[in-house]
Chains A and B, each alone.
Chain A
Amino acid sequence: MNFCPHTPEDIREMCSVCNVNEVDDLFKELPVEEIDFKKLGKGISEYEGYNLILNLARKNNLLSYHFLGAGFYDHIIPSVVDFVASRSEFYTAYTPYQPECSQGTLQSLFEYQTAICNLTDLEVTNASLYDGGTALAEAVLMSLRITKREKIIMDKSVNPIYRNIVKTYLKFLPYELIEVETEEIEPDFGKIKSLLDSNVACFVFQNPTFYGSVHDWTDLINFAHEKNILAVSSVYPISLGIVKTPGKMGVDIATGEGQSLGNPLSFGGPYFGFLVTKKVYIRNMPGRIVGETLDRNNKRAYVLTLQAREQHIKRHRATSNICSNEGLCALRALVYLCSLGKSGLKELALINFSKSEYMKKKLIEIGLVIKNNATTFNEFVVKFNRPAKEIFSTLLSKNIAFGIPLYLFGGSENDILINVTEKMSKYNIDNVCSILEAIL
């Protein structure tokens, strides 16, 4: 093993590929001499700068409220989450590789792992991955390693962004990915079943689906297991307060986006992904895993364990490129789950479910159609008799973001995906429905 990242020989080789003599040649095109730094003007005071930015911020149109979901959800975050996560011991901690000085970080990650296992009813998880989409792609790769087969069946009601990530991961690998068309917006169970042959490594689904429908996949999972096919799913963690868990359904590898667990929407991140599986597959799981052990004085201690598979020990044989995790976001999820508790999570899930059911009822009352055939969890598809774009624009002019028009994801022009969380009040729902009624 050579510990130099690139030797002079490597650099020569790379330069020759780029057709340059030395690294500096690559930057020759930059017109550094031509940039007039004086044009940037004189500096301004802190107060002037503050006001400048504040005035720019005031130009933003603030939404009154919104119904956006599609994988990222606006939930209430208890203030204890910010309080704990912003403590400098956690906020500035660098790496948990040295267990002798990282016990607090390691303990929090260990407890996070415990919480995720409890939430999903599965046995082992890592200290988190980058996001829900990459976690799903890693789960697919895991299933290929475990089964040594080359075909993947993926339901098209999986989040289209996640499907794209999976496709990107597999693009240059010798595997076959088959995406199964939905029946309208619901999974086509019969079609998926007919594709499960002995070359298939896994079938991939999402519950609730991208369109919000909840299904029990147990029968299909049992059928797949008879052919040694693994079941890989993506789940919405808040829904697990009331929806049958992946563990109870027999899922082999469950993944999900952890944002809804105490992480703000904040323009797309940072978020974190979780990946949880059965103990028998732990050696094929990517990422880092924190374990609990005893030190030489028989005191409880935490260490990164099973790193042997990853870069430090396994180096070029490592099973994935994942060498880090989203520690702070995972910590927020832990504090969030602890602050809610088991009964709190169930109550929260029920509130989400009931509020969206109320909105569905109101929309039906004003003559709209809900496309989902199945029960939904806080998200559903509304069908209009004219382009969703128009409806969306009209409501946006009143500072309401009314869901996500599905034409943006290749869906029908007249459909909008609506999300209702516990944050939405009955007043807001009634208000938006009366505005809608007036414009229909």
Chain B
Amino acid sequence: MSRYYSKDHEWLEIDNNVGIVGITDYAQHQLGDITYVELPEVGTEIKQFSIFCTIESVKAASDVYAPVSGKIIEVNSRLENEPEIINKSPEEEGWIVKVEISDTSELKNLMDKASYENYIKELD
């Protein structure tokens, strides 16, 4: 399994043809306490870098962008009642959706862990 990162601070973990998507620890820190996650519906087709979900925190409501195109096959319904999981475990338990990836060539538009770490260092 390998992990990819987007410039919009989403992570994508690939397991066969299925991608698990969440927001990074950096992103959850920026947002502050998360109060609500407006989850998409299973079956929705998403396009790389388009909005598929909104996360509300005490500070702002932010869009989450799809790191890769495909079809949503599962959502983390725990987030409906416990959105704070994203604060506690953004890159594990706080995953948001699972996506059936439609075009693996899009992965080249994403960063690996080391590049992402450099990227956020530059932002700070």
Residues of A near any B CB (own CB < 8 A):
283, 308-309, 313-315, 317
Contact = CB atoms under 8 A, between A and B. Distances in A.
Given A308-B36, A309-B56, A313-B60, 13 more contacts: A283-B36, A283-B38, A308-B35, A308-B56, A308-B58, A308-B61, A313-B57, A313-B58, A313-B59, A313-B61, A314-B61, A315-B61, A317-B61
A197 B54 CA distance: 30
Interface in B10-64: 35-36, 38, 54, 56-61
Interface residues on B, range: 10 to 19
Interface string B55-99: 011111100000000000000000000000000000000000000
Nearest to A317: B61
21 contacts: A283-B36, A283-B38, A308-B35, A308-B36, A308-B56, A308-B57, A308-B58, A308-B61, A309-B56, A309-B61, A313-B56, A313-B57, A313-B58, A313-B59, A313-B60, A313-B61, A314-B56, A314-B61, A315-B61, A317-B54, A317-B61
Contacts of B56: 308-309, 313-314
A309 B54 CA distance: 11
B52 to A, nearest CB: 14
Contacts of B58: 308, 313
A315 B54 CA distance: 13
Contacts of B60: 313
B118 to A, nearest CB: 27
A80 B68 CA distance: 63
A314 B59 CA distance: 9
- Give the secondary structure class of A's interface: helix
A313 B36 CA distance: 12
Contacts of A308: 35-36, 56-58, 61
Nearest to A310: B61
Contacts of B57: 308, 313
A314 B38 CA distance: 12
Contacts of A315: 61
Contacts of B54: 317
A308 B36 CA distance: 9
Nearest to B63: A317
Contacts of B36: 283, 308
A82 B57 CA distance: 40
A262 B36 CA distance: 37
B63 to A, nearest CB: 8
A308 B32 CA distance: 13
Most buried by A among B36, B58, B60: B60
A311 B35 CA distance: 16
9 closest pairs, A vs B, by CB?
A314-B61, A308-B56, A313-B61, A317-B61, A308-B35, A313-B60, A308-B61, A308-B36, A317-B54
A59 B58 CA distance: 58
A313 B56 CA distance: 8
B53 to A, nearest CB: 12
Nearest to B35: A308
Nearest to B58: A308
Contacts of B59: 313
Most buried by A among B36, B54, B57, B61: B61
Contacts of A314: 56, 61
A364 to B, nearest CB: 56
Contacts of B35: 308
B19 to A, nearest CB: 25
Nearest to A305: B35
Nearest to B54: A317
Contacts of A283: 36, 38
Nearest to B38: A283
Contacts of A313: 56-61
A124 to B, nearest CB: 15
A308 B37 CA distance: 11
A314 B56 CA distance: 8
B55 to A, nearest CB: 10
Nearest to A315: B61
Nearest to B51: A317
B36 to A, nearest CB: 6
A309 B36 CA distance: 10
A328 to B, nearest CB: 29
A283 B80 CA distance: 11
Contacts of B61: 308-309, 313-315, 317
A218 to B, nearest CB: 30
B56 to A, nearest CB: 4
A309 B56 CA distance: 8
B30 to A, nearest CB: 14
A308 B55 CA distance: 10
A309 B57 CA distance: 10
Contacts of A317: 54, 61
B8 to A, nearest CB: 16
A314 B60 CA distance: 6
A283 B83 CA distance: 14
